[in-house]
Amino acid sequence: MDCKVCKFGGTSMADGNVILRAAQIVRSEADRRYVVVSAPGKRFSGDIKVTDLLYSLYDAYEQKDEALFEELWQKISLRFLNIEREIGRDLQVQAALDEAKQEILSGAGKDYCVSRGEFIVAHIVAAVLDVPFVDATEFVRFDEHGLLKEETFALASETLKKYERAVVPGFYGLGADGKVKTFSRGGGDISGAIVARGVMAKLYENWTDVSGFYACDPRIVNSPCCMEELSYAELRELSYMGANVLHSESIFPVRSAGIPIRICNTFRPEDRGTYIVTAAKRRLGDGVVTGIAGKKGFTSITIEKSMMNAEIGFVQKVLAVIGKHGISFEHLPSGIDTMSLVIDNEFLRGGILEALVSEIKEAVSPDKIYTHEDIAMIATVGHGMAKNVGTSARLFKALSESGINVNMIDQGSSELNIIVGVESKDYESCIRAVYYEFFPANE
């Protein structure tokens, strides 16, 4: 029997009324048989996501700050009890809260604690829909390095085929130690993709609070174009680079099975949404660029040395220095006599940057080495860029006309993207400049 998987994000689980709206969406099509949910998210700007409250709760537990623990626990409990009240039925929420608290206090661990948002809300949704709850620990498996195990897909298929319909909590599974283990933040999207692959759904619907994937962040450009289609590869680039509407790893389970993803709006279910497919045909603007995304919080280390290209093992020596510190790099643009390393600031706190610079000096004796701290990386993405001559000229002209200084350039070998590094203060204006260059009709 054909089926669709519906994953509802935190914005679609934020309160009782939105949960009822999500339930209505599920009921409106008989094919919508499997539902995956995230923990309740923000109800209004400035609100705190339940998952964030749970992370703070665990910190308070570790620091043995009992007063703070109780204060946070009250806040979390209130979120769920309000949901139960708004839905207007006894959903056994107090019992679920009591059990979670007891387990946390008896040392169930951090991942268990932060996963309880999805666990409890999935029980609520299952009761509202009158559909079985199936725990993600029954089939989502991680190895000892925290990576998703391939056996997950067969297990998902085996487990879920026993249920004609099911509600599954997103964001977690079972670790190699037999304890609850979570994905990285936003990982409910990956859980939805695993379920879609497990049941071989004809469509993976990802329900959120926007009507699709926009050509850039709608918080930076007012009403940017909404894409009708994009390819899995474009989605991967854009979401990895910061378009957090969908987790960048959520394509892997569905891509190989050719299951399309549809991004749709819980608050406007009649909107078409965006389809993510193998080869996207429908194009916006002049068809060159599909979208623009970016992130702040990087540092670049640029190394200059004449004849660097001829020196065997040069790059290897530099990478050995950062490897020794357990640091990975985001980008590695290089020229004949220069190379840059772009690293997430998270890795560089507490004097690490200074240590790296001095160790690189020692390892390769550069002519010059300098750093740009606090830079933003912005990716301009699209399959159309490979076919259209002069795309980078247009991009750099748009940036210079907006007075934006580019610190670093990295063009992926797939010609699917051009990535620029700019000062963090120029982040928003850079995105706007590129957007209006390639989508001029929307200015």
Q: Which of 16, 173, 186, 253 binds ligand ASP (CB under 6 A)?
A: 186
- Where would I find the beta strands (DSSP E) of 13-170? 32-37, 166-169
340 is written with which tokens? 């840059």
- The CB-side HSE value for 173 (13 A sphere, CA atoms) comes to 27
Q: Which of residues 16-75 bind ligand ASP (CB under 6 A)?
A: 38-39, 49, 51
Contact region with ligand ASP (CB under 6 A), list: 103-111, 183-191, 218-226, 267-275? 183-191
Contact 238, 293 (CB under 8 A): yes
Q: Which residues bind ligand ADP (CB under 6 A)?
A: 9-12, 38, 41, 186, 208-210, 213-214, 216-219, 243-245
- Based on the shown chain and the rule CB under 6 A, indicate whether residue 187 belongs to the binding site for ligand ASP: yes
Site string for Mg ion, 140-179 (x = CB under 5 A): ----------------------------------------
Within residues 151-180, the interface with ligand ASP by CB under 6 A covers 170-171
- If one asks whether residue 294 binds Mg ion (CB under 5 A), the answer comes out as no
Is-contact 209 12, C-beta < 8 A?
A: yes
| Helices H / strands E in the chain, number of each | 14, 14
11 binds, among Mg ion, ligand ADP, ligand ASP, none (CB under 5 to 8 A by kind): ligand ADP
Q: How far is the CB of 242 from ligand ADP (least distance, A)?
A: 7
Mark the segment that binds ligand ASP (CB under 6 A) among 181-189, 224-232, 291-299, 345-353: 181-189
- The CB-of-203 to ligand ASP minimum distance in angstroms stands at 19
User: Which residue in 15, 3, 6, 4 sits closest to 167, CA to CA?
Assistant: 6
Residue nearest to ligand ASP (CB): 188
* HSE, side-chain direction, 13 A CA sphere, residue 138: 17
Given a contact cutoff of 8 angstroms between Cβ atoms, the answer to whether 359 and 400 are in contact is: no
Residue span binding ligand ASP (CB under 6 A) among the ranges 65-73, 187-195, 372-380, 409-417:
187-195
Select 130 or 270, whichever has its Cβ closest to ligand ADP: 270
Does position 117 interact with Mg ion (CB under 5 A)? The reply is no
Binding of residue 188 to ligand ASP (CB under 6 A): yes
Cβ nearer to ligand ADP, comparing 356 with 376: 376
Could you tell me where the beta strands, DSSP code E, fall in 40-192?
A: 166-169, 172-174, 180-182
253 binds ligand ASP (CB under 6 A): no
Of 4, 6, 8, 10, the one binding ligand ASP (CB under 6 A) is 10
Given the complex with ligand ASP, which of 38 and 274 has the nearer CB atom?
38
Counting residues that bind Mg ion (by CB under 5 A) gives 2
3-state secondary structure of 91: coil
Q: d(Cα 340, Cα 333) in Å, to the nearest integer?
A: 6
CB of residue 413 to ligand ASP, shortest distance in Å: 31
When the beta carbons of 13 and 201 are compared against Mg ion, the nearer one is: 13
Quote the least distance from Cβ 117 to ligand ASP, whole Å: 6
Does the protein bind Mg ion through residue 9 (CB under 5 A)? yes
Q: Is 375 strand, coil or helix? A: strand
Shortest Å distance, C-beta 54 to ligand ASP: 9
In contact, 54 and 113? CB cutoff 8 Å: yes
Taking residue 307's Cβ as centre, other Cβ atoms within 10 Å add up to: 10
Which pairing describes strands 406-411 and 417-423: parallel, antiparallel, or unpaired?
Answer: antiparallel
- 248 part of the interface to ligand ASP, by CB under 6 A: no
Residues 64 and 42: their CA atoms lie apart, in Å, by: 27
Which of ligand ASP, Mg ion, ligand ADP, none does residue 117 bind (CB under 5 to 8 Å by kind)?
ligand ASP
Residue 187 near Mg ion by CB under 5 A: no
Residue 414: closest CA among 389, 387, 386: 386
Q: For residue 206, which phi and psi values (nearest 5 degrees)?
A: -110, 105
Q: Which is nearer to ligand ADP, 289 or 301 (CB)?
A: 289
Tokens of 108: 């169930």
CA distance 250 to 375: 27
With CA atoms as reference, report the closest residue to 216 among 225, 206, 205, 228. Answer: 225
* Shortest reach from residue 26's CB to ligand ADP, in Å: 15
Report the candidate in 244, 216, 210 with the shortest Cα–Cα distance to residue 435: 216
> Which residue, 52 or 415, is less far from Mg ion as judged by CB?
52
- Nearest distance in Å: CB 185, ligand ASP: 4
| Residue appearing with tokens 């300098």 | 370
Distance between CA 443 and CA 402 in Å, rounded?
14
Binding site for ligand ASP (CB under 6 A): 9-10, 38-39, 49, 51, 117, 170-171, 185-189
